[in-house]
Structure 1
Amino acid sequence: MDTLARLERTIAERRSAADEGSYVASLQARGLPVMARKLGEEGVETVIAALSGSREDLVGESADLLFHLLVLLAEKGVPFSDVLNELERREGTSGLAEKAARGA
């Protein structure tokens, strides 16, 4: 998890950088809808890599997906630790039971 924690800190630092020098700052300047759309694009690319790409494609797209998720979480003021805490809360619970409890 150290890598994700470092990445989260880097994203926080770059959110306040000049957008011409930072991809993160440029995403922030373009707004939440662009960040959300980019996360969706990366999710689709990850699915495509899983179905028809190489292992390396899947690894690369998964890294892109996690990066863009962290950017979106930062924009919404949600620390990644909150996501990890939710996963811990769900640990040991059947996915089917958890989904039923949410009414999904």
Structure 2
Amino acid sequence: MTTLESLAATIETRKTADPESSWTAKLLAKGPEKCAEKFGEEAVEAIIEAVKGDNARLTSEAADVLYHLLVMLAARDVALADVFSELERREGTSGITEKAQRGT
């Protein structure tokens, strides 16, 4: 099991935890919209650090982005395995081709 998979499994267990005992449980209890908002905030912070060129801060913010992405996925009952499957489906396909197939 990878670190990401282990974190996703831990987040899954927090769905039923007491929100007073866990930051993740507290975030999940606020609903998917709040989880999405937190993900967006962390993504913006990562962008800022990328632009600044501070690799240590970018690394820290990137970890926050991954954590909040997993929380957002859990809030909507999207399994990390499903995301991995989608990435595997796209493997070997040009990004230009893949976007054209989606019509975006």
In structure 2, the residue matched to 1:26 is 26
Residues 1:69 and 2:61 aligned together: no
In structure 1, the residue matched to 2:58 is 58
- Which consecutive residues of structure 1, in runs of 5 or more, have no partner in the other structure? none
Structure 1 residue 53 displacement after superposition: 4.3
In structure 1, the residue matched to 2:17 is 17
% of aligned pairs identical? 51
Q: TM-score, normalised by structure 2?
A: 0.95
Amino acid at match of 2:27: L
Residues 1:84 and 2:102 aligned together: no
Residues 1:48 and 2:48 aligned together: yes
Cα distance in 1 for residues equivalent to 2:34 and 2:53 = 26
Structure 1 residue 13 displacement after superposition: 1.2
Higher helix residue share: 1
| Matched length | 104
Q: TM-score, normalised by structure 1?
A: 0.95
- Which consecutive residues of structure 2, in runs of 5 or more, have no partner in the other structure? none
Q: SS of the counterpart of 2:27? A: helix
Cα distance in 2 for residues equivalent to 1:53 and 1:46 = 11
In structure 2, the residue matched to 1:98 is 98
